[in-house]
Each structure stands twice: as structure tokens, then as C-alpha cells.
């Protein structure tokens, strides 16, 4: 009788375990950075908080290095609900959600503090929500700092870019910016950029300081010129299907964890960016150049009128962001 009772208890426990496992959800999140990148680390913090807050009922499995596709491919997969979550950046998201174009306008923000204030506030939330009808529900931004040019020579003014082939993201704004600054914009996939720089397919690129170290671009581009033309965040987002499949409690846990990770990431990013500059200088021989930004700012001003004419909604966002700096 005791044996039968033990067997029954064991069977019941097994059934409970199987039921709990069946109820647990795992969301797949794809991105194109390595696992030691600050953005990956921040997303992992989000995943850990979600799992803890839901008692393991909701988990996020993160696929680094573009394992499930490029940024564009994973965004399309989120749209059609074949992928739960992804991380892209505002430059590429502009093609899917027009509001993100505001982040791609050069010198849009008065400072990094102003940028951080915007993404953490009502304006940032408005932009995240603007993609819902397009199947891209934004959850949080991760700052990746100011983007500058890194090339095979110092860029001290727009004149220095004349005729240079500069790798840009597949973003209309990025292409137009480089055109106005005198360079030849050349869209190339992130995974192909190291060899393109090494082989002279392009003369340079533009990104934040960590590109020099985490992607090793400082090995093949020895000049980093701090013109700091844009502050383009990464965005983590979820498909409408995946979101609708969560309980109210799970939605709240995910939204809270995403927001918390965004805030902690802002602090961590500054440390990572400063460390990248030090490493690039000390270990890769990269020269860091301070530049006068005024000529760069003047050269790109036509982009504002063009953007407002092409997208009247953008004009309102530009006005809101500028007003928030006062």
C-alpha cells in the first residue's frame, strides 16, 4: 500500500511539473551584437528580471550575433509574428516606423543628457507606441552614445569627407547626411564592415566608440573624429502576437523590466564608451580627434526642412524635442 501511495505521489508531482513547464513561455529575442556588448548585457538583465518577476513562467532567450537574421530580417519576422522579439536601431527602424526618423536627424539633441531625458519620458514612449499598428511594439531604448566618423585619416571638417566612401546603415537619413557632408554614402551590412574597411572597399564608417573595440574596427581604421553627429538608440521590441499572448501580469513584468534595464543601461553605457576609447588608443593605436562641430551642423540643416516636408508628423516631434531642451 505504501509503495502504491509513493507511486501515486510521484506521478502527481511529475504531472504538476509537466503542467508548469507547459504553461511557461519562452520568447526568442534576436540581435546582431556580440554577447560582451553592453546592449546584450542590458537585455540579459531584462530577461533575468522578467523570469524572476514571473516565477519562471516567462523567459526570454537571447540570440546574439544575428543568429536568427539581420536587423532588417528580424524586424520583418517580428512584424509577421514568426519571431517574438528583436533589437534593432532607430536608423533601420525608420523604414518600418516613420517616427524613429527623428533620432536619425544630425544634432537633434542639445546633449546626451537631453537625449536620455527624451527617451525615458513621454516623447520616447510616444515613439515606441507609434509602431504598434505596424506590428512593432517598442519596449525600451538602449543608448549607444554619439556616433562619429572613423576613417583612414582625420576628419576635422566636412571638406575632409569630400569623395570618401563612408559606410552607412541602410537608412535614408544616414545616406542623406553623408551626402550633405560631402562623402559618398555606401550601405554595407554590419557583419561585412571589418573586411570592407580592411580591403579599402570603404574609406571609413560612422558609429560609437565601442565599434572600435567590440567589432575590432580600430584595427583597420586608425582615426576617430568626435564630430558626434547623431545619437541613435537601439530599440528592443516585441510582436503584437507575442504581446497579446501574455497575461496582464506578464505584460506588466516585461514592460517594467524593459524600462528598468533601459535606465541602468544609460549609466553602464558611459563607462563602456569611455573604456572603449581608452582601449582603442592604448592597444590599437587609434588617434582620437576633437573637432569644431559648427561646420558639420551647418552642412546638415537642409535635412530638417526635407524631413518636415516629407513627414508632417515628424515636424511635431522635432518641435517637442527642441522645446524639451529648454
Which residues sit opposite 289 in a β-bridge? 225
Beta-strand relationship, 204-207 and 146-151: antiparallel
Q: Band the pLDDT of 24: cuts 50, 70, 90.
A: confident
Give the pLDDT mean for 221-226. 98
Q: How far is CA 204 from CA 84, 184, 207, 310, in A?
A: 34, 10, 10, 29
> Which of 220, 165, 168 lies closest to 198, judged by CA?
220
Q: CB count, 10 Å around CB of 11?
A: 10
pLDDT band at 310 (very low <50, low <70, confident <90, very high): confident
166 and 177 in contact (C-beta within 8 Å)?
A: no
Average pLDDT (172-201) is: 95
Q: For residue 11, what pLDDT is reported?
A: 53
Which domain, by its residues, includes 173?
2-324
Look at residue 163 and tell me whether its pLDDT is greater than 80.
Answer: yes
3-class SS of residue 289 = strand
Q: What is the pTM of this model?
A: 0.83
Mean pLDDT across 15-31: 71
Number of domains in the chain: 1
Confidence of residue 12 (pLDDT cuts 50, 70, 90): very low
Q: What is the mean pLDDT of residues 315-323?
A: 94
C-alpha 35/C-alpha 32 separation (Å) is: 9
189 Cα distance to chain centroid: 15
- On average, the pLDDT of the chain sits at 92
80: domain CATH number?
Answer: 3.40.190.170
Higher model confidence: residue 68 or residue 91? 68
Q: Determine the pLDDT at residue 16.
A: 45
Give the H or E element holding residue 224. strand 223-231
pLDDT surpassing 70 at residue 295: yes
pLDDT band at residue 139 using 50, 70 and 90 as cut-offs: very high
Amino acid at each position: 500500500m505504501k509503495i502504491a501511495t509513493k507511486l501515486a505521489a510521484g506521478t502527481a508531482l511529475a504531472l504538476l511539473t509537466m503542467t508548469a513547464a507547459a504553461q511557461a513561455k519562452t520568447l526568442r529575442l534576436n540581435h546582431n551584437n556580440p554577447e560582451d556588448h553592453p546592449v546584450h548585457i542590458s537585455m540579459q538583465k531584462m530577461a533575468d528580471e522578467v523570469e524572476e518577476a514571473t516565477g519562471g513562467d516567462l523567459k526570454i532567450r537571447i540570440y546574439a550575433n544575428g543568429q536568427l537574421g539581420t536587423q532588417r530580417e528580424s524586424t520583418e519576422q517580428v512584424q509577421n509574428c514568426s519571431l517574438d522579439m528583436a533589437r534593432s536601431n532607430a536608423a533601420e527602424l525608420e523604414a518600418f516606423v516613420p517616427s524613429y526618423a527623428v533620432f536619425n536627424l544630425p544634432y537633434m539633441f542639445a546633449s546626451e543628457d537631453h537625449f536620455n531625458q527624451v527617451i525615458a519620458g513621454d516623447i520616447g514612449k510616444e515613439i515606441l507606441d507609434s509602431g504598434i499598428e505596424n506590428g512593432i511594439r517598442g519596449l525600451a531604448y538602449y543608448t549607444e552614445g554619439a556616433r562619429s566618423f572613423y576613417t583612414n585619416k582625420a576628419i576635422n571638417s566636412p571638406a575632409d569627407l569630400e569623395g570618401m566612401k563612408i559606410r552607412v546603415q541602410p537608412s535614408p537619413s544616414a545616406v542623406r547626411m553623408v551626402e550633405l557632408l560631402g562623402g559618398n554614402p555606401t550601405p554595407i551590412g554590419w557583419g561585412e564592415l571589418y573586411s570592407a574597411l580592411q580591403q579599402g572597399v570603404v574609406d571609413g564608417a560612422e558609429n560609437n566608440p565601442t565599434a572600435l573595440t567590440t567589432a575590432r574596427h580600430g584595427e583597420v581604421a586608425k582615426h576617430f573624429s568626435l564630430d558626434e553627429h547623431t545619437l541613435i538608440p537601439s530599440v528592443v521590441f516585441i510582436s503584437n502576437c507575442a504581446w497579446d499572448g501574455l497575461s496582464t501580469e506578464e505584460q506588466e513584468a516585461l514592460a517594467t523590466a524593459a524600462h528598468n534595464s533601459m535606465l541602468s543601461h544609460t549609466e553602464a553605457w558611459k563607462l563602456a564608451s569611455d573604456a572603449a576609447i581608452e582601449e582603442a588608443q592604448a592597444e590599437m593605436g587609434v588617434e582620437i580627434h576633437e573637432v569644431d562641430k559648427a561646420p558639420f551642423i551647418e552642412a546638415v540643416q537642409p535635412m530638417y526642412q526635407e524631413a518636415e516636408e516629407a513627414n508632417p508628423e515628424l515636424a511635431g516631434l522635432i518641435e517637442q524635442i527642441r522645446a524639451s531642451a529648454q
